[in-house]
């Protein structure tokens, strides 16, 4: 969860701005949390307090109606509806918010079922659900040592039918100006950025340098990298300094809960 939030904040200033350059500064005054962080906190809150995913997402997004970069159009309509229904999205929003599921459930089948439920209140397409399940399951596999990093690519291909691009392809796609907005694009690229990284910071940097949907690619890559690498304390502390009190309270409760497992 912290990895997703860090990746979101680091990538936030590049999504609609200039392309990132090598050795870019991780945190500046132009950074901020986006809908990725708000929705990630909402998923954690839902699990920790036994709320429905729909209720928690709508609650948190109504608390913060104008995040940096805004909400997607159909998601905004869903938030404003008096009678919200899933709208078949296959966008990467289901994958960027799912990381708490990979940490807070202790059985593979529970992780798969809860990842599906966290997606399906909005992203009830096969692609939207698969993206969420893939990210949550890779986190679960890595943090519980069910598989090692060398086995991730084949496990993702076998279980979720994603073919991962090379890191060269990841970097080329973003630099062409293509904006990777779907699960089927962003999730495989994020997994590859993790697999080619040397540490947590390097993973997030690679994801952001790939350009395109920088905050979401950073969030998904960061969420996976957190399950394998230690996050430097100074990076965590700086990222958390951007967040309001109620988000920090959920994050503290999340950390306390996984620390007890």
Q: What is the pLDDT of residues 69-127, one digit of tens each?
A: 999 999 999 999 999 999 999 999 999 999 999 999 999 999 999 999 999 999 999 99
Residue 95 near residue 131 (C-beta atoms within 8 A) = yes
- E strands along 95-206, which residues? none
Q: Name the helix (H) or strand (E) containing 111.
A: helix 108-120
DSSP helix/strand/coil, 91: strand
Dmax (CA) for the chain in angstroms is: 47
Closest CA to 174 of 136, 134, 215: 215
Residue 113 near residue 98 (C-beta atoms within 8 A) = no
Cα separation, 51 vs 54, whole angstroms = 8
Cβ within 8 Å of residue 20, ≥6 positions away: 14, 208, 209, 211, 214
Both tokens assigned to 173: 């796609």
What's the pTM value of the predicted model, to 2 decimals? Answer: 0.97
Cα separation, 19 vs 140, whole angstroms = 32
Confidence of residue 216 (pLDDT cuts 50, 70, 90): very high
Confidence of residue 15 (pLDDT cuts 50, 70, 90): confident
What's the burial of 33, exposed, middle or buried (CB within 10 Å: 0-12/13-18/19+)?
buried
DSSP helix/strand/coil, 66: coil
First to last CA, the chain: 16
pLDDT at 167 over 70: yes
Q: What is the predicted pLDDT for the residue at 176?
A: 77
Residue 180 near residue 174 (C-beta atoms within 8 A) = yes
**Helix axis angle, 53-63 to 73-80, nearest 10°:** 100
Tokens 């429905």 found at:
52
């Amino acid at each position: 969860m912290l990895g997703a939030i860090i990746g979101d904040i680091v990538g936030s200033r590049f999504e609609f701005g200039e392309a990132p350059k090598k050795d870019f500064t991780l945190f500046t005054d132009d950074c901020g949390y986006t809908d990725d962080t708000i929705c990630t906190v909402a998923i954690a809150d839902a699990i920790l307090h036994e709320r429905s995913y729909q209720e928690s997402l709508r609650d948190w997004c109504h608390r913060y109606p104008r995040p940096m970069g805004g909400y997607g159009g159909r998601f905004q309509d869903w938030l404003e509806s008096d009678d919200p229904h899933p709208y078949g999205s296959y966008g990467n929003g289901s994958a960027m918010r799912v990381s708490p599921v990979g940490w807070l459930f202790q059985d593979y089948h529970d992780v798969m079922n809860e990842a599906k439920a966290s997606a399906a209140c909005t992203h009830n397409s096969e692609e939207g659900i698969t993206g969420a399940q893939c990210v949550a399951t890779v986190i679960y596999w890595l943090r519980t040592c069910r598989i090692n990093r060398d086995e991730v690519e084949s496990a993702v291909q076998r279980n979720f039918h994603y073919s991962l691009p090379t890191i060269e392809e990841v970097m080329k796609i973003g630099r062409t100006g293509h904006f990777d907005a779907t699960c089927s694009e962003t999730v495989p690229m994020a997994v590859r950025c993790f697999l080619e990284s040397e540490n947590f910071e390097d993973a997030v940097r690679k994801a952001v340098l790939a350009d395109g949907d920088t905050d979401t690619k950073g969030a998904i890559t960061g969420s996976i990298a957190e399950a394998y690498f230690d996050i430097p304390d100074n990076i965590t502390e700086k990222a958390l300094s951007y967040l309001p009190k109620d988000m920090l309270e959920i994050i503290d409760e999340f950390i306390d809960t996984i620390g007890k497992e």
